[in-house]
Structure 1
Amino acid sequence: MPDVDRSRAWLLTVDGAPQSYVDLDAPTYLEFEYAQRLAHVLDTADDQDGPDHRDRRPLDVIHLGGGALTLPRYVAATRPGSRQDVVEADRGLLELVAERLPLPPESGITVHGADARQWLEEAAPDSADVMIADVFGGSRVPAHLTSVAYARAADRVLRAGGRYAANLADGAPFAFLRSQLATFAEVFEEIALIAEPAVLRGRRFGNAVLVASHEPIDVRSLSRRTAADVFPARVQDGPALRRFIGDARPVHDEQAVASPEPPDGAFSIG
């Protein structure tokens, strides 16, 4: 059962694992490293990559997975006028967030209580500039959100040049992460991976952000931003990423499985 603390800064946990952190007085503050990396993808989603948020144009963004709406609040603050759709299957969670963490007026955020893939397959084509996938059933990415068919559904909804970014979790030997990279490389010409070096070297289980697009990804800008984080990350693309993928094959619906169960304590708090 989700629980939250009772202050202006809210930590949402599910089954003891932290899922979202929101500071209602500072919507641009992102506590978790994976959220910071997803924000870097959002911040570099166009050519307006200056330090002043006011220089950035509004975006049409789809968020698959809602949590406490941390990243939708971030986009609303950094790109005023953006139109955002949030898809979350856990209606109880949505009710809790609406009651305890209401959105600011005229946020431009619409919340949908629905399964992510079903909603995506019914969404208008060419309707999003960026799609953020952060969907976990407990602590695992559901199997039906890992296949080529799912990647094609995402591609159909993204505009030309749009970006897809997903928060994933895995550890050595990275069978799941490598298969996801192979799956999205089947649909998108350009892919990149953002992760801490310790995770990429197999020293620990952790989060990694997959980025996919039909247009070149601004790896230089992403690398500069992730290197400056409190916990620096590395951006891999091109030949290095192809070596990481190795002989992994794209996943189709009939072979799809959920992401691996995290080791005990991997994401626990307190």
Structure 2
Amino acid sequence: MRTSFATAELMARDTGVLLLLDGAESSFLDLRDPAHLDFEYHQQMDAVLAAQRGESSPVKALHLGGAGCALARAWDVTRPGSQQLAVEIDEILAHQVRTWFDLPRSPRLRIRVGDAAEVVSGLRPGQWDVVVRDVFNGGSVPAACRSREFLTACLEALTPGGVLLINTPSTPRAQAGAEIEALAEALQGDASGLVIVADPAAVRGRRRGNLVLVARREPFTAGEYEEIERAVRRLPLPVRTWSPDDAAVPRPESGQTS
């Protein structure tokens, strides 16, 4: 069917339904097990949050980019008592996913129609335990959602110890590098509050994949960094953590600004 911005298709796969937008895989929802996360980057985000806040503690979570709300649906089950908000720019899609899928109702999960860049500018400081940015348009992240100003607003919206989880493509490498640099600048140049989760091939640009950028206003201690490392290495498809200073991490092109 045609939504406000794309053509949506539902495809039965294994025990769930795959949502495709303009032919690209957007969300997978397991109809038998709401806690199951099929996408690797969702598993990585979930593992990072578990390492930071425990396996089952409730959170106030803001999801920028809703689509099928697979991650929010899983956290509703694994973190009972959570209150979550998904921001989705596509009005028809935001309505249809509640028809297609057994999503939690408000106040457990609210879906707000809006542009993530505009919504972020109006967030209150210290409002959310976790902010997830998973905004895509035509396979890439809109420039307004990877700017230093946008990332700063996301960080300021976090509670003390809260975490920002970002899904960004590993290629083009210069664009990924520019976003990492913008996030470091949003942290006022203190890279100790930034960790990158990904497999080596994606980080080094040998294949297109996802980078999960993990950031918070407070520096990660050595112990916390190790906890995240252990958590992501235990995943079904294990990955590792990277420092933004690692030589393999993408860099912006010379002169490219954030």
Q: TM-score range by the shorter chain?
A: 0.7 to 0.9
Q: Which residue pairs with 2:249 in the alignment?
A: 244
**Number of residue equivalences:** 244
- Work out whether residues 176 and 252 of structure 2, in 8 Å CA contact, stay in contact via their aligned partners in 1: no
> C-alpha separation between the residues in 2 aligned to 1:157 and 1:75?
20
> C-alpha separation between the residues in 2 aligned to 1:106 and 1:62?
14
> C-alpha separation between the residues in 2 aligned to 1:24 and 1:216?
39
Q: Aligned runs of 1:209-220 on 2, under 5 Å?
A: 209-217=212-220, 218-220=224-226
SS at match of 2:246: helix
Q: Which residue pairs with 2:4 in the alignment?
A: none
Q: Which residue pairs with 2:230 in the alignment?
A: 224
Q: CA deviation at 1:151?
A: 1.1
> C-alpha separation between the residues in 1 aligned to 2:252 and 2:91?
39
Q: Which residue pairs with 2:113 in the alignment?
A: 113
CA offsets 1:242-267 (integer angstroms, 9 cap, x no match):
x735576897xxx66xxxxxxxxxxx
- Work out whether residues 63 and 86 of structure 1, in 8 Å CA contact, stay in contact via their aligned partners in 2: yes
SS at match of 1:13: strand
- Indicate which of 183, 208, 211 corresponds to 1:208: 211
> C-alpha separation between the residues in 2 aligned to 1:78 and 1:215?
26
Identity of aligned residues (%): 31
- Work out whether residues 196 and 242 of structure 2, in 8 Å CA contact, stay in contact via their aligned partners in 1: yes
Q: Which residue pairs with 1:265 in the alignment?
A: none
**RMSD between aligned residues:** 2.3
- Indicate which of 191, 194, 199 corresponds to 1:196: 199
Where do 5+ consecutive residues of structure 1 fail to align? 257-270
> C-alpha separation between the residues in 2 aligned to 1:69 and 1:200?
26
> C-alpha separation between the residues in 2 aligned to 1:60 and 1:157?
11
- Residues 219 and 121 of structure 1, relative CA distance in 2, 3 Å threshold: same
Q: CA deviation at 1:148?
A: 0.9
Structure number with higher relative contact order (C-alpha < 8 Å, ≥ 6 residues apart):
1
Q: CA deviation at 1:237?
A: 1.8
- Residues 45 and 31 of structure 1, relative CA distance in 2, 3 Å threshold: same
> C-alpha separation between the residues in 1 aligned to 2:199 and 2:179?
18
1:201 partner letter: R
Q: Which residue pairs with 2:3 in the alignment?
A: none
Q: CA deviation at 1:17?
A: 1.2
> C-alpha separation between the residues in 1 aligned to 2:217 and 2:253?
21
Where do 5+ consecutive residues of structure 2 fail to align? 1-6
Q: Aligned runs of 1:67-216 on 2, under 5 Å?
A: 67-105=67-105, 108-171=108-171, 174-188=173-187, 189=190, 190-216=193-219
> C-alpha separation between the residues in 2 aligned to 1:95 and 1:106?
14
Q: Which residue pairs with 2:62 in the alignment?
A: 62
Q: CA deviation at 1:112?
A: 0.3
